[in-house]
Chain A
């Protein structure tokens, strides 16, 4: 299947600084792709290049099977986008702002504009504030309006740059649900965030940026599995249990009072349990600890505030 978005050697330099450094993005059709990375790691710059807003210094972008920005006119009508946060005319109402964007769309039927605009506003829970001026919107309402703009037309793909920025926990949850439901409908979604925890539950695929390079990419479950899983056993028979585990090929077996920990490696946890029981070890509790993606993320991107350049 052709990927919804693929880049090859995509590079953007701003003067001496290389903001995006030869990345090969691969967003499969139908994926909900979490595009992660700390502030300043190049997510927005990549998205801008993908949408033809800025020209790559080097490399190519293929969006929905067509080259960008060459086929921009044919491709972008099929893509809804929110880039670098919402941006609207402050003295127009939310609805008037959407009307303006709809009027700019050659593919939008003016006869259905009102209905589509209401549907988009409703979908992000903003219908009640549609007549309010944008300048009077709260940060969360602005973000919602930005998402609504991406939903004005039926889309094959959505590109959402930090859609949960500035939303309260309830709003974040709602946007997550919205993305998940759109994803379930078959829309390919690229959603960027600097918080893994915000998108982890809904993403089928992940890509992790660090200072302009793509340091990890793939199916979320595979990335998760690539992490060493550990096992912790609670038992009174510490020595016997440790022996069984070592014989099965588990590494880093460590014993403590009433518990044994080890790195699981390729061994299936159910086999460990069977072997332990077979050897007469009393198994009180066995916990498999698949390292949270969060740890991987922090490992990949570095902790703290070292990302900004």
Chain B
């Protein structure tokens, strides 16, 4: 909007208005609207996304949540460190490998947090996304700006995915730092018996982070849909957390084997396949396909629900 700046002027009785400014302002507002100029589409959308991320990250509760995510690997590393060495159980698990290599703190922490902490974080964020804004009424403010509903939903979703990535990354990095500090970082022994140089292993860890992010992105789509159903963010959060936890429970019951392929969580532990040499993809490929199916289905559902929902909060 060039040339059409309302010039500041308090309309209060207290401060005497300045005549010149007043005229200018009149011109600006009365103007038979200088045909509104839309900003470049991509830049405008990025600006909205940035604002969305800032909103997410400036919230104390979310900062505390990130802190909790980061604390888990630290606690795990310390616990292993102070545990009686003779008591270390041997085995395939990442936890058992920590003593020999701090690198495994990151992996062990991801495996632990994928079951509850990370899904809980997504549940909270997706509760805020639509239901939260509906509850405090800011949703109607955005819609009358206007932000087209599809665009708003898309922005909310991308923000959730970025938030997911950040959460997983924080766990991995905190794991590396804590593990490195207490046990040192060394070349990594793969599950196939070979050894990966540390830089290669770090790339593998990044792939693990992305794989877990894909899982959370699918959960975010589900969360976004739930968030459009209610004006109670807490309700949406609890629902998403329950759904996720229930899926983990169902997945652990062997008698329900027929159901497992349909569960979002079923292929997630396959992230360990990233530490084979070469990487063993088949299970993870199925996992990614499941993620994709959940994303498509629930984004469509969210859109169908939100596109002409009455916003009367």
Q: How far is the CA of A53 from the CA of B58 in the complex (A)?
A: 28
A232 within 8 A of partner (CB): no
B90 within 8 A of partner (CB): no
- Chain A, 259-277, CB within 8 A of any chain B CB: none
With A76-B145, A108-B39, A186-B29 already in contact, the answer to whether A153 and B55 are too (CB < 8 A) is: no
Q: How far is the CB of A33 from chain B (nearest CB, A)?
A: 17
B194 within 8 A of partner (CB): no
**Cβ contacts under 8 Å, A155 to chain B:** 29
Segment at the interface with B among A87-95, A198-206, A246-254:
A87-95
B39 with A110: CB separation less than 8 A: yes
A185 with B25: CB separation less than 8 A: yes
A227 within 8 A of partner (CB): no
A120 with B6: CB separation less than 8 A: yes
Partner of B8, one of A88, A107, A123, A154: A123
Segment at the interface with B among A97-105, A285-293, A294-302:
A97-105
A104 with B145: CB separation less than 8 A: yes
Q: Report the number of A-B residue pairs with Cβ-Cβ less than 8 Å.
A: 157
A173 with B13: CB separation less than 8 A: yes
B6 with A72: CB separation less than 8 A: no
Q: How far is the CB of A86 from chain B (nearest CB, A)?
A: 8
B198 within 8 A of partner (CB): no
With A187-B29, A187-B30 already in contact, the answer to whether A103 and B51 are too (CB < 8 A) is: yes
- Chain B, 1-59, CB within 8 A of any chain A CB: 1-2, 4-14, 25-26, 28-34, 36-39, 41, 43-44, 47-48, 50-51, 54-55, 58-59
**Cβ contacts under 8 Å, A106 to chain B:** 38-39, 41, 44
Interface range for B? 35 or more
B6 with A55: CB separation less than 8 A: no
Max chain A CB contacts within 10 Å: which of B4, B6, B43? B6
Sorted nearest first, the 9 A-B pairs with minimum C-beta distance are A87-B137, A186-B30, A103-B51, A119-B8, A122-B8, A76-B146, A54-B310, A185-B30, A178-B11
> What are 29 inter-chain pairs, A to B, with CB distance below 8 A?
A45-B312, A48-B312, A51-B144, A53-B144, A73-B148, A87-B136, A87-B137, A88-B141, A89-B55, A89-B136, A92-B58, A101-B145, A103-B48, A103-B50, A103-B51, A105-B145, A107-B39, A112-B1, A116-B5, A122-B9, A123-B9, A154-B28, A154-B31, A154-B34, A156-B33, A177-B11, A186-B29, A186-B30, A187-B30
Residues of A with Cβ closer than 8 Å to B?
45, 48, 51-55, 72-73, 76-79, 81, 83-85, 87-92, 96, 99-101, 103-110, 112, 115-116, 118-120, 122-125, 127, 149, 151, 153-156, 170, 173-174, 177-178, 181-182, 184-187
* Given A104-B142, A122-B9, 19 additional A-B pairs, CB 8 A: A55-B310, A84-B140, A96-B58, A107-B36, A108-B1, A110-B43, A115-B5, A119-B8, A120-B6, A123-B6, A124-B10, A124-B11, A125-B10, A170-B13, A174-B13, A177-B12, A184-B26, A185-B25, A186-B29
